[in-house]
Chain A
């Protein structure tokens, strides 16, 4: 009975139902669109969302602050703020064990690091950087990566 009523295109109830369904669907689409839009806007480009690791900061004296794909996709910059000059200098001088950057979306990573020049007396509060070759496009804009440093890992870092 209800099915028959709604099935009639000229029925008042059917028109109202259609309006209700249409409104609900459009409202849902709007909400979904807004949520997706907010997701696109807020991550991972929001610099405030960069994670931190107390263990890494205590052991290495640095706080990582940004991963960015640059060089038209061929290079990556990893920046870090020095918290403890002595520990950070050891970290930078240990060229045989640079942090490895690994995509959390697929297999792949890079630890082929270059620049900046070692030997600085790293000053607390100052930002320094490493440049990586983006091995096989290991990291891409808009995804999350893990910074692996010895046994410690900093996960879910946004890739700009």
Chain B
């Protein structure tokens, strides 16, 4: 009897575990999938999005907590910036805005034509005295709503942002990215075939700034003097360095879901022929001269329009410092090319390798793997396991207005991240 009972019990236990295991595995797999890199799009088959303007808090790397306003998917909680809306060119887009903020707000869609609000042409609003109150119809304070519709314009990236009390509400965080894809070509930036990018290698860099004094005043319902504003935090996708290096949906940044790490392999005509694409958008009030070290980037779109002549000639250009003006967007292609083909055996670098990289940041060996060769590591000190994961490269990318590369004045921080370049065969820990 005991044997039979034990066998049954074992069988039942096994069955129960078979039932339970996928649940656990799925939980872990889901968590892993959510911890990802690259753009996270909100999409919808009907291109209809429900956004809620709401308040919440973000954290900064120096330990500060900032009160913010932002748009969020109505089914999710607060996030900064607003959801990245990815749509297809030429199709109707519907954005339903619900407002839970204590004052009226709205959304304008710069670059989109024929925008309607509740079925009427979107247009500026004035009070009874003739003063401008909003650039577009609003959703009333606390519980109002308004529905915007438009036909998605030319492929590229665009801001969507508040059109109401813009100086204050934009500073408070009411902005997001709209990525318009070419119909039938989701892996192209625009309608040109030469704008194709590698699958999964698409990144949004939504650049912005925060003056904590303005946010504290709004939180305390005190008057706001935007003319006296001085921003102290500068962000990529609502995060500052080093949080920009963290993956999407990092659990310690619950209201800041978007990372800013570019992760690619070197260009290869056969195995890796397509570049990555980065959409730069400036939701702030000043220029952000964004400066990726290591390689130029090819600017192919500005403000959602392909850089080409009347006959379709290519007017794109390589740029080392990307000046992204307020309200402007730039779409670029970027790759990393092993131009010199340095090889420790067959083509050694004809100079003594430095003991440092191009920046002496902390110590004499920072950001250096003891080897200048991608994917190669030299002998390591005995107290180290290895120099880095697999001999990969990291290139700093940051705003070259250096006060924007700080966390409230403390370098290095702010509008800064890294581009990671893995060896051609991928990163295998050695």
- B251 and A110 form a contact (CB under 8 A): no
Q: Say yes or no for A70: interface residue by CB 8 A criterion.
A: yes
Given contacts A37-B24, A71-B420, A136-B430, contact A113 B250 (CB under 8 A): no
In the complex, what residues of B have CB within 8 A of residue A138's CB? Answer: 385-386
- B366 and A70 form a contact (CB under 8 A): no
In the complex, what residues of B have CB within 8 A of residue A22's CB? Answer: 12
Q: How far, in angstroms, from A111 to B366 measured CA to CA in the complex?
A: 11
In the complex, what residues of A have CB within 8 A of residue B413's CB? Answer: 116
Given contacts A116-B410, A117-B361, contact A6 B369 (CB under 8 A): no
- A127 and B61 form a contact (CB under 8 A): yes
Q: How far, in angstroms, from A142 to B185 measured CA to CA in the complex?
A: 39
Q: Say yes or no for A126: interface residue by CB 8 A criterion.
A: yes
Nearest residue (CB) in A for B357 is A114
- B1 and A137 form a contact (CB under 8 A): no
Which A residues from 70 to 128 make CB contacts under 8 A with B?
A: 70-75, 77, 79, 81, 95-96, 98, 100, 107-118, 120, 125-128
- B383 and A68 form a contact (CB under 8 A): no
Main DSSP-derived SS at the A contact region: mixed
- B63 and A160 form a contact (CB under 8 A): no
In the complex, what residues of B have CB within 8 A of residue A110's CB? Answer: 384-385
In the complex, what residues of B have CB within 8 A of residue A12's CB? Answer: none
Count of residues in B whose CB is under 8 Å from the partner chain: 57
Nearest residue (CB) in B for A25 is B12
Min CB gap B258→A, angstroms: 14
Segment at the A interface, from B40-48, B241-249, B287-295, B310-318: B241-249
Q: How far, in angstroms, from A45 to B386 measured CA to CA in the complex?
A: 26
Which B residues from 402 to 422 make CB contacts under 8 A with A?
A: 410-413, 418, 420
- B386 and A115 form a contact (CB under 8 A): no
Q: Say yes or no for B20: interface residue by CB 8 A criterion.
A: yes
The contact of A118 among B16, B362, B427, by CB within 8 Å, is B362
Given contacts A117-B411, A131-B242, A141-B35, contact A26 B16 (CB under 8 A): yes
- A134 and B410 form a contact (CB under 8 A): no
- A74 and B20 form a contact (CB under 8 A): no
Ordered by A's residue number, 25 sampled pairs between the chains whose C-beta atoms are within 8 Å are A2-B1, A21-B9, A29-B16, A36-B24, A40-B28, A45-B251, A68-B250, A70-B261, A72-B247, A74-B388, A81-B63, A109-B384, A110-B384, A116-B412, A116-B413, A117-B362, A127-B61, A129-B61, A131-B242, A131-B245, A133-B369, A134-B388, A135-B385, A135-B387, A137-B389
Q: Which 3 A-B pairs have the closest CB atoms?
A: A3-B1, A127-B63, A29-B16
B residues sitting closer than 8 Å to A (CB atoms) are: 1-2, 4-5, 8-9, 12-13, 16-17, 19-20, 23-24, 27-28, 35, 37, 61-63, 241-242, 245-247, 250-252, 261, 263, 361-363, 365-367, 369, 383-390, 392, 394, 410-413, 418, 420, 427, 429-430
